[in-house]
Structures are given as C-alpha cells and as structure tokens.
C-alpha cells in the first residue's frame, strides 16, 4: 500500500490515505518522533478532536492559524483543520509542504459561495468593496478586496470609510452582526455555517432556566436570535479568553463542541455546557472538522500526503486580500 500509485489512488477515492495501522503502536509518540525527524509543525483549529489538539504545536482560531502558517520556519505544515484553512497556509507560505489529513474536510460556508455565481453577484454591485470571511475558497478570495476572520471582522469593516459600499460574504449571520455593531448596511451573501445555525434558542432558554448563573457565550456565526441572548460574543479564541478572565463558574457555549477541550483545560473548576442543536443529532460537531482523526494525521505526516497543491496565478490573486487583512490586523495588534 505504501506504493506511491496505490497511495494516490486511495486519496482520489477517499480523500485520505486508507492504510491499516498496527494497533499496538503509540500514535502520540510516533507523531512526536515524525515531527522532529521531518521538521514538521502541526497547526490545529479548536474544533479538532481532543487527541489532535493534544499533539498540535499550535491551536488557534482562523486568524491565529493564518498568522502561524505565514511565519513558521518548519519544512512541513500539517494542517489539522478544513480545506480553506490549509489552502490559506499554502497561499501564505508556498515554499512549505502543506498537508491536510483528509482532503474532503470542507466547509458549508465555503461551499455556499461558488466563484462563478459570486462573480455575477459582485458585478451586480458596482462600486462596492468586497470583504470576505476567510471561510471561502481561493477562487472567492481572488475576487475579494480584503479577507477577515471572526476576530477581526469589525476592525476590517471599520478600516473602510463609513460611506464606502461593501459586499460581505459568505456568512450572512456574521455580516448581519457586524452591520449591527458598526451601523453599516453591507450587502450580504446568503451563506451560513451548518453548525452555528442549528442552535436552538428554545433549548438554550430552557438550559438557562436550569442553570441561572451560567453565562451564554456565542460565536458570531450564530443566528441573531441566539446572539441576542448571549452575554459575550467572540471568535473561538475570543470565547476561550473570555472564560479565562470572567468570574462566572458556568457557561452555555454556542459554538462547535471542540472548543470545550481547551476551555475545560484552562478552567478546571468551571462547568461548560454545549448549547444544544434544534434536533437530537450531534449537529454541534462540525462533520467536516471531525473528518480528521489522529490516525489520518499520523499517516499524512508519515507519507507526506495528501498535499495542498495550488495554481500559482490563483495563489497570488488570493494572497493580496489576505495580506491586506494581516496588515490591518497588525495595525490593531490583533
């Protein structure tokens, strides 16, 4: 199976290397060994499963991960996150080998904005600057003026003159939240995150009655009705930092459940209750993020595939608005 052709076939068919692993090996120790041997770094998003977070060299939100990817001196970046995140790492640091344990780890927000349709939308709004949430494909980034993440969106929007017409894409919930915060009237693309739009206000309200002292903390990708009852709204890093500084002892957390691992580690005496979805499924787990497993990560690092490969013209076009975001973020010390 380590034969290069069958490995490539396995990736084409499954999106990942489907190779049996000896069940007796210590994956944590093997991953540490491989990282040293290959001068590799593991960058993980907070929504990854706890085992992956525990082997990561850096865990962060989308902005922090992009900043780390840009400055790393490692030869290999293993990106434990979804495709647009690994692609952003490659855009920013093209001389590195960027690996993604499962190439099928996509994103509903990114999928909601196909470049050809977005181009038509953009053409219908002449004179508008395009601010795009980082959760999008390189094709969409190439059609944008500035990229933003949930932790810098407000500052990025405010960096443009108040009378500048703006298109905000692809997340309508984050866009509506920023419109409310800034008093702007940005034109919104109609996309949403399948995880964050599933939270049930009714169930959160019931939880709040049962835990009256618990604070509701929410990611701005949530719908307005949920954001309206939140005591604090922020990116994943923002939410985590809030729980470290705040004096409450319990929180109802309206974002993907992966973040609870770091919240619990940082605050051993506090209680974290995942906000429930509006049905009985585990829909507050992102099915894309959770495609990555420790086993796939180990194989990806060992065989150095699947790898993110990009067209150079597209990479350069997509890099411009990301550079703009990083420049503005640095000005604000973000």
User: How many CB atoms lie under 10 A from the CB of residue 2?
Assistant: 9
What is the per-residue binding string for ligand SF4 in 11-50, x denoting contact by CB under 6 A?
Answer: ------------------------------------x---
Tell me the C-alpha distance between 259 and 238, whole Å: 11
Is 132 near ligand 13P (CB under 6 A)? Answer: no
Smallest distance, Å, CB 281 to ligand SF4?
14
Is 284 near ligand 13P (CB under 6 A)? Answer: no
What is the per-residue binding string for ligand 13P in 143-162, x denoting contact by CB under 6 A?
Answer: ------xxx-----------
CB-neighbour burial class of residue 213 (10 A; exposed 0-12, middle 13-18, buried 19+): exposed
Size of the site for ligand SF4 (CB under 6 A): 13
CB-based contacts of 50, cutoff 8 Å, min separation 6: 258, 261
Of 104-112, 207-215, 295-303, 313-321, which part binds ligand SF4 (CB under 6 A)? Answer: 104-112
The alpha carbons of the chain give a radius of gyration, in whole angstroms, of 20
What is the per-residue binding string for ligand SF4 in 268-307, x denoting contact by CB under 6 A?
Answer: ------------------x-xx------------------
Helix (H, G, I), strand (E, B) or coil at 58: strand
Q: What does 108 interact with, of ligand 13P, ligand SF4, none (CB < 5 to 8 A by kind)?
A: ligand SF4
Tell me the C-alpha distance between 41 and 62, whole Å: 16
* Residue whose structure tokens are 């034969």: 3
User: How many CB atoms lie under 10 A from the CB of residue 165?
Assistant: 14
Is 236 near ligand 13P (CB under 6 A)? Answer: yes
Q: What does 133 interact with, of ligand SF4, ligand 13P, none (CB < 5 to 8 A by kind)?
A: none
Residue number with CB closer to ligand 13P (10 or 257): 257
Tell me the C-alpha distance between 77 and 328, whole Å: 25
Smallest distance, Å, CB 189 to ligand SF4?
14
Q: What does 288 interact with, of ligand 13P, ligand SF4, none (CB < 5 to 8 A by kind)?
A: ligand SF4
Q: What does 149 interact with, of ligand SF4, ligand 13P, none (CB < 5 to 8 A by kind)?
A: ligand 13P
* Residue whose structure tokens are 């923002």: 238
Is 293 near ligand 13P (CB under 6 A)? Answer: no
Helices 312-331 and 83-92: crossing angle in degrees, nearest 10, is: 90
Positive or negative: CA dihedral 146, 149, 151, 157: positive
Question: Among 65, 76, 89, 109, which residue interacts with ligand SF4 (rule: CB under 6 A)?
Answer: 109
Is 223 near ligand SF4 (CB under 6 A)? Answer: no
Tell me if 75 sits within 8 A of 93, measured CB to CB.
no
Tell me the C-alpha distance between 143 and 123, whole Å: 11
Residue number with CB closer to ligand 13P (46 or 298): 46
User: How many CB atoms lie under 10 A from the CB of residue 71?
Assistant: 9
User: How many CB atoms lie under 10 A from the CB of residue 24?
Assistant: 5
Determine phi and psi for 78, rounding to 5 degrees: -95, 115
Is 108 near ligand SF4 (CB under 6 A)? Answer: yes
Residues contributing to the site for ligand SF4 (CB under 6 A)? 47, 82, 107-109, 135, 193-195, 256, 286, 288-289
Residues contributing to the site for ligand 13P (CB under 6 A)? 61-62, 135, 149-151, 193, 221, 235-236
């Amino acid at each position: 199976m380590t034969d290069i052709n069958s490995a490539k076939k396995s990736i084409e068919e499954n999106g990942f290397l489907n190779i049996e692993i000896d069940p007796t090996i210590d994956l944590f120790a093997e991953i540490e060994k491989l990282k040293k041997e290959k001068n590799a770094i593991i960058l993980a998003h907070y929504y990854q499963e706890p085992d992956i977070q525990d082997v990561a060299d850096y865990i962060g939100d989308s902005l922090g991960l992009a900043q780390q990817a840009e400055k790393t001196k490692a030869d290999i970046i293993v990106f434990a996150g979804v495709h647009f995140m690994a692609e952003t790492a490659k855009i920013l640091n093209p001389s590195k080998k960027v690996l993604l344990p499962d190439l099928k780890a996509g994103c509903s927000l990114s999928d909601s904005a196909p470049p050809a349709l977005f181009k038509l939308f953009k053409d219908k709004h002449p004179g508008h600057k395009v601010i795009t949430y980082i959760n999008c494909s390189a094709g969409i980034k190439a059609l944008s003026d500035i990229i933003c993440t949930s932790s810098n969106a407000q500052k990025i929007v405010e960096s443009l003159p108040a009378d500048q017409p703006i298109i905000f894409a692809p997340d309508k919930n984050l866009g509506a939240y920023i419109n409310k915060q800034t008093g702007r009237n940005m034109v919104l693309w109609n996309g949403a995150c399948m995880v964050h739009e599933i939270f049930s206000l009714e169930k959160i309200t019931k939880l709040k009655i049962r835990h009256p002292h618990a604070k509701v903390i929410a990611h701005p990708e949530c719908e307005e009705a949920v954001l309206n009852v939140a005591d604090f709204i922020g990116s994943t890093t923002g939410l985590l930092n809030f729980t470290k500084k705040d004096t409450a002892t319990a929180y109802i957390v309206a974002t993907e459940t992966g973040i609870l691992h770091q919240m619990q580690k940082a605050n051993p005496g506090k209680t974290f209750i995942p906000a429930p979805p509006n049905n009985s499924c585990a829909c507050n787990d992102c099915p894309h993020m959770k495609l990555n497993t420790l086993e796939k990560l180990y194989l990806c690092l060992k065989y150095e595939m699947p790898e993110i490969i990009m067209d150079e013209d597209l990479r350069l076009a997509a890099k411009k608005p990301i550079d703009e975001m990083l420049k503005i973020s640095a000005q604000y010390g973000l």
